[in-house]
């Protein structure tokens, strides 16, 4: 049973437009959410995160929105650039819950292609 779901395997947008990547989760113990970006032949790199006490976190062109009641988060990239083309992974973790709080659960990823 997948606890973190990224239902869109791929997304294609035009340069300059907004990219919206979605992620749903089922485990109500998740309290901290992260987005990772992965280029081919490289490991994932941390992009942005959000704690459940917030509903929005912004860092430059990247904004993550969290809707706890819907167990849904999204990553907005605006304006999108060709260099943003990569696989984006959503990940979730319990926060300070002890035991396995270090364990990140990942989604399958969404391949974003930004066309010039």
User: Which is closer to other proteins, CB of 17 or CB of 103?
Assistant: 103
Work out whether 86 is an interface residue with other proteins (CB under 8 A). no
SS3 53: coil
Work out whether 96 is an interface residue with other proteins (CB under 8 A). yes
Instruction: Work out how close the CB of 59 gets to other proteins at its nearest, in angstroms, rounded to a whole number.
Output: 13
| Interacting residues with other proteins between 27 and 66 (CB under 8 A) | 32, 34, 36, 41-46, 49
Structure tokens at 13: 């947008």
Which of residues 23, 84, 109, 114 is near other proteins by CB under 8 A? 109
For residue 13, give Cα distances in angstroms to 54, 72, 102: 28, 21, 34
Work out whether 88 is an interface residue with other proteins (CB under 8 A). no
Alpha helices, DSSP H, located in the chain: none
Q: Which of 30, 11, 106, 100 is nearest to 71 (CA)?
A: 30
Work out whether 25 is an interface residue with other proteins (CB under 8 A). no
10 φ, ψ to 5°?
-150, 155
Q: How far apart are CA 110 and CA 34, in angstroms?
A: 14
Work out whether 106 is an interface residue with other proteins (CB under 8 A). yes
Query: Which residues bind to other proteins, rule: CB under 8 A?
Result: 2, 4, 9, 32, 34, 36, 41-46, 49, 89, 91, 93, 95-96, 100-109
């Amino acid at each position: 049973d997948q606890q973190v779901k990224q239902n869109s395997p791929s997304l294609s947008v035009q340069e300059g437009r907004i990219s919206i990547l979605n992620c749903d989760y089922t485990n109500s113990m998740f309290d901290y959410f992260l987005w990772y970006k992965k280029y081919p032949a490289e490991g994932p790199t941390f992009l942005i995160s959000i704690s459940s006490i917030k509903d929005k976190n912004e860092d430059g062109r990247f904004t993550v929105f969290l809707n706890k009641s819907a167990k849904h988060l999204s990553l907005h990239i605006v304006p999108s650039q060709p260099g943003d083309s990569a696989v984006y992974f959503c990940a979730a973790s319990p926060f300070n819950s002890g035991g396995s709080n270090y364990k990140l659960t990942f989604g399958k990823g969404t391949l974003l292609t930004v066309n010039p």
